[in-house]
Amino acid sequence: METAADLALQRVTLCDELHEKIAAYKNIYKENNKTCTENEQLRSRHHELDSPLQRIKRQLLKKLRDDRVKITASDRRALSIWRTLVTICATVTLLPFTIFAAYKSLQRRRLKYRLKEKVVLITGASSGLGEALAHAFYRAGCRVVLAARREDELRRVKNMLLTTHSTDVTHPPVVLPLDLSDLNVLPGKVAKVLEIFGHIDILINNGGISYRGNILTTSIDVDIKLMLINYFGQVALTKAVLPSMIDRQSGHIVSVSSVQGKIAIPYRSAYTASKHAVQAFSDTLRAEVAAHNINVTLVSPGYIHTKLSVNALTGNGEAYGVMDSATENGSPVEKVAEEILYAVATEKKELTTCSFVAHIAVLLRTLYPELFFWLMKKRAHQH
């Protein structure tokens, strides 16, 4: 069978032949001044030679067209086989994940439904994580009590809840102004909530402040303030809520600590000390109240995008006022709030939600303390 190349070669040969012949006839014509009859003969000879050339040209074009059609058809077949294979592989790989994700999402919805009507007291609800928690629990159908110092901010959060979630939530949020460092007034605040709802199902100890400074120059008043708000405030509120929970043999205490409740880093002494204390208190509490069917969830987040660093205290008690880059690049607050909601719904004892590096740091502190101390010395030196 002739290939396109063979045909092309034939065509070239014939062309050459034709041109040679024409040139020869032209020369003869010129030289001998041929008659018109001879001229006619020449023309017919030209046609004679030209027609096989045209035939070959047609064949060549047809062949090229056929080849192109053949190539396109086989390409299409190969492409469709590849497409089918990729679709099968993708389905086989992704199907279990899709089923798992759908199952998880259904489970989450069912678990959220479990929280419906629960009375939830959230401290630090005027901003940041507390505000996001208020949204998450309110959306899940809980009766939320919003506690913090700034009453106007609490009212703003309340209005946001009422306007944002026009679902089947029927209980308007309750605003409860309080100062966690005012330990003696806290039992009275809890009594007020018990008066309104009769009980508290979930206490979320979230309110707190951070700190930036070195131990040498930090005023002891700042250390005391941090411990008062972050630790003693939580302890006092928990002690005020516990008797009613024990009476009902039901309840849940959530403590928002920090990864810095597991590892201490330089220039955060007062903050890390208060969060370590929260961790220890929660672990002890969990063991003691388990017999009363009361759950304890300790939350240890890494950096979250809130105003924590802006509101932090410096060594002389002034506001730090700076959004530091770690907090700026922290996890979205809504995501952390959802994780906490899920941890509460599933009665998890502990939730550590932080970066991979922070997890490694916690591991290092336990498994290779010497290495951890060396890294912290370096960090302090670079400060």
Ligand X SMILES: NC(=O)c1ccc[n+]([C@@H]2O[C@H](COP(=O)([O-])OP(=O)(O)OC[C@H]3O[C@@H](n4cnc5c(N)ncnc54)[C@H](OP(=O)(O)O)[C@@H]3O)[C@@H](O)[C@H]2O)c1
Residues near ligand X (CB under 6 A) are 123-124, 126-130, 148-150, 153, 178-181, 206-209, 229, 256, 258, 301, 303-304, 306-308, 311, 327, 330
Amino acid at 83: R
Cα dihedral 163→191→226→149 (10° resolution): 40
In what helix (H) or strand (E) does residue 175 lie, and over which residues does it extend?
Answer: strand 174-177
* Alpha helix stretches (DSSP H) within 115-219: 128-139, 151-164, 186-197
Residue 170 to residue 204: CA distance in whole angstroms: 21
Nearest to 255 by CA among 112, 124, 356: 124
In what helix (H) or strand (E) does residue 56 lie, and over which residues does it extend?
Answer: helix 36-114
Sign of CA dihedral 83, 85, 89, 91: positive
Cβ 142 to ligand X shortest distance, Å: 18
DSSP 181: T
Nearest to 293 by CA among 260, 251, 353: 251
Cβ 222 to ligand X shortest distance, Å: 13
Nearer to ligand X, 52 or 177 (CB): 177
DSSP β-bridge partners for residue 202: 120, 252
CB-based closest residue to ligand X: 128
Cβ 203 to ligand X shortest distance, Å: 14
Tokens of 378: 């370096």
- Helix, strand, coil shares of the chain as percentages rounded to 5? 65, 10, 25
Q: Is 126 in contact with 150 (CB distance < 8 Å)? A: yes
Residue 225 to residue 210: CA distance in whole angstroms: 10
Cβ 333 to ligand X shortest distance, Å: 7
- Point out the catalytic residue in the list 25, 138, 211, 271: 271
Q: Is 256 in contact with 301 (CB distance < 8 Å)? A: yes
Cβ 80 to ligand X shortest distance, Å: 52
Nearer to ligand X, 119 or 209 (CB): 209
DSSP β-bridge partners for residue 299: 256, 351
Nearer to ligand X, 25 or 211 (CB): 211
Nearest to 236 by CA among 261, 273, 211, 203: 203
271 catalytic? Reply is yes
Nearer to ligand X, 124 or 251 (CB): 124
Nearer to ligand X, 218 or 258 (CB): 258
Nearer to ligand X, 182 or 283 (CB): 182
Residue 252 to residue 150: CA distance in whole angstroms: 26
Cβ 340 to ligand X shortest distance, Å: 10
Residue 185 to residue 168: CA distance in whole angstroms: 34
Quick one: how far is CA 354 from the chain centroid?
12
Q: Is 14 in contact with 49 (CB distance < 8 Å)? A: yes
Cβ 116 to ligand X shortest distance, Å: 25
Nearer to ligand X, 20 or 221 (CB): 221
- Which sequence positions are flagged as catalytic? 271
